Structure 1
Amino acid sequence: MSLDFDQRVMIITGAGGGLGRAYATFLAARGARIVVNDYGGTVHGVPGGPGMAQAVVDEITAAGGQAVASGADVGVDGSGDELVQLALDTWGRLDAVINNAGATRGGVGIADNSIEDLLFSFNIHVAGAARLARAAWPHLLSSDSGRIVNTSSDSIWGTPTSNYVTCKAAVFGLTRALAAEAAAHGSLKVNTVMPSAWTRMTGGIPPGDFRDTVENNFPPEAAAPFVAYLVHPECPWNGEAFQVGANRAAREYLAVTSGFIADQEKPLQSFAEHPEQVTDTSTWVIPGDMLESVELVVADLEGRPRWP
């Protein structure tokens, strides 16, 4: 297996620092040609300029790689088209997209967050990823092995930062939807990562043992090799989510348990008397799509064997 990326063209958003920079430099060193996108702003969404992106481009070209800078704001309509056009104008093709850009605004608890804060975060994390995926889609289909990698977060399993968690859970859903669409086209694959890394954004973690653990054990560079594999032509996965960091990767997934069928004569009482059976995780299945998940219920109701 050849694990280089010779001549493959990729767009990486939020690549002016942290994880995005690590992805860009790692891939460029292995032959990929990179559109380095970053609007140069703060983690709270105050715009800056193309300087951060250009600094990474300068780093890549100084090492003998190929890259071009973009200061486009992925939260603005038309940014996806602008980024794709830059790739096409520069190299004539597009093979992969890594949606890494992120920003967050608002407080920790729900009472400290306005709807405007939520919509701002959604516009960057979710709509921004969708803008670029939509613009890139026909070009990725024409590639021999188009790839999209979105960025979700382990925060979706629960932490009291409602804006951020809501957006990252939506990215998980967006990935599943795009992957289902991509499956009809064979070569195009869409996955998401839930990375752990010490970056400007995680730099806001309060002092303490957890902050020290992240800072000391999760450099952005240790997430780059696996993300690079996800955009490689040999990568077989589609629609998956992966916990990534510290040179480790693990599949993350939603599953459906065998559940509990209530007594039809007294369903409310029946559920109340058997809470442990509703939440029992001793048997479970990962549905391939929505139809399969409904089929699990139908099989149960008809008494057909369906659970391992």
Structure 2
Amino acid sequence: MKSHIEQHVTSYKEKYKNRGRLLISCSDQPGIVSAVSTFLFEQGANIVESSQHSTNPEGGTFFIRFEFECDRLDEKGSAMEEAFQSIAESFSMEAKFTYAHRLKRTAVFVSKELHCLLELLWAWESGDLMSDIAVVVSNHEDAREVVESFGIPFYHIPATKEIRAEAEAQQLQLLKDYNIDLIILARYMQILTPTFVAENPYRIINIHHSFLPAFIGAKPYERAYKRGVKLIGATSHYVTDDLDEGPIIEQDIERVNHRDDAEELKKKGRLIERTVLARAVKWHLEDRILVYGNRTIVFN
């Protein structure tokens, strides 16, 4: 199976070997787009996609994402970043260059429910999710067989309140050993400590089985059923120290009615969870997300 995935990766890297991305946030002011566009032109780059947003044209914050093609980008990238510093300083920009062919190394954390993990693996296998899924970590053994069938290393690290510190120390070491860029919580039913989150700011994506801010915490479908809701949903967000209150990336909903019991809500909810998490992860991998306070700007 891995050779099939490697074919997708090789094809993608060849196709996008000269594709770069530039994400910028700064105070809104005249001349930003002109200055950056001129810079890219002078570097021999051709802009193939540009998206922008301002919170307020008069004194707000300005966000822009450029995607560009530039011959021999792998050789020229570092010099381009250095040359851009003068523009970044003149506009007091936060600016980040990324390169499409440098796939982000991903770790997936999962517990017993595997539907979100499977969705990610299927998307990865088909070439729809361009990432290097380097490792899967779980506090249960349920996912081992399916994960190893994809040729991905699987680590079982039991995690309870009593041994959380030891478990997270092992997990953090694994993340370093595998040089991980992104952590995906694919229904990982453990609360992460502030220490773990601080080590990975805006690099942990969670799926919450509720349309946040409703039904934060455990057993949202049971509570939704008791409340008699007519819509259920799922929310993918970046993890922060505040439980289920990090910047929201993506959400979706489905209509339900009085005939649906709690188990039926869960069945319908799992379909939403899978697609919502996969979309959020894909947008992060494609550098389409900028965090603004406790919100996100998503150029999708």
Report the TM-score when normalising by structure 1: 0.42
More strand by share: 2
More helix by share: 1
